Amino acid sequence: MTDSGKTAAKPTTVGVELGARRYDVRIGAIAAADAAEAIADALGAVTGVAVLVDGSVGERSPRVAPLVEALRARLPNVKRFDLRAGEACKTLAEIERTTEWLAEQGYDRRGAVVGVGGGAATDHAGFAAAVYLRGVRFALVPTTLLAMVDASVGGKTAVDLPAGKNLVGAFHQPSAVVADLGFLDTLPAREVRAGLAEVVKCGFIADAPLLTILETASMVDGKLPIEVAAELVARAVRVKAEVVAEDETEGGRRAILNFGHTVGHALEAASGYDLLHGEAVGLGMLAALSLGEARGLGTPALTARATALLARLGLPVDLRPRLSAEVLARVTVDKKRRGGAIKFVFVPSAGETKLVDVSPDEIAAHFLQRGSGARA
């Protein structure tokens, strides 16, 4: 993902301003000792730390073991527990497995959790921290681009049910987030592309210049120059931090962060999670732009721009064959449903959003009766 052979700039720090619960997101190529120091300082006095590691990252990345050792040098009773890889860890059964282990190890209310991994692992770690002993402190070390720009920031923690994605969860803010770009060096190219979808989302909802950067950035062998990666992550985190600071529990403006997620979550779940989250969100953005066009809340040019950008980044844009009655039925159990309506995020122009309640019948009529291509 990054050209780490070059000297990295000084890490960037983005604050998530939540009063007494504010925390920092550090972004850059960060040495294990520095990451451990930042986490230790943020957690403060603790009786022990459980490091929950995504199983696939633990096997793939050489940066995990030094981080755990650095945490052991700074904090008491540090023990590592490997989670099931990827989305498989986001179930209530896996949360039970983790919390049983926490209890067996004797972690008390002054203990803390450190989650290391992609978005599924950070969601799992945050939710486990939220429910264990009615809440313990936690910090996150996101290891995928998607987790760095989205899942690790904002305090949303959740696991999935068979009926849909993220249906059981809690708001629980971390004490610190350390986004070490060095983890991206061993990230598979498909995971890189999936993470860029969430960066595209931030461009459409709040930071239009991000789209231009993505449209012109060069990638060689699946890598971005580290300074470009750092800028993309920092800008996306700033978008999310600003929105979360204004609306922590999604009572209003925070809902704009769901652009592309309403249909995206349904596509992701219906695929049996063969679609990565970012791939599904990209398709969901095209669905939202298509429906917005039909409502007069968008333009063909904007939809075409999104389609071209997602395709340039190597993300799927074949929305038509992926939508079905089964997928659209899953939209109706989305957690954003209010009564009989689904709250959709529309983007009339880059950087502008509008929240609208849409009936399931209108969604079905648009995509099933009129076709479901990007310009449906």
Residues identified as active-site: 134, 156, 198, 240, 250, 254, 258, 261, 265, 277
- 3-state DSSP call for residue 20? helix
Q: How many residues does the chain have?
A: 376
Q: How many whole angstroms separate alpha carbon 140 and alpha carbon 157?
A: 12
The secondary element (H helix, E strand) that includes residue 177 is strand 176-180
Taking CA 289 as the corner, what is the angle to CA 285 and CA 293, rounded to the nearest 5 degrees?
Answer: 170
Beta strands in 327-370 (DSSP E): 337-338, 341-346, 354-358
Q: How many separate helices (H) and strands (E) can be counted in the chain?
A: 14, 12
Under 8 Å between Cβ of 159 and 94? yes
Q: How many whole angstroms separate alpha carbon 331 and alpha carbon 365?
A: 13
- 3-state DSSP call for residue 182? helix
H helix runs in the chain, sequence order: 32-43, 55-60, 64-74, 92-104, 119-131, 145-146, 189-205, 208-216, 226-246, 261-270, 277-294, 300-312, 325-331, 360-364
Q: How many whole angstroms separate alpha carbon 279 and alpha carbon 275?
A: 6
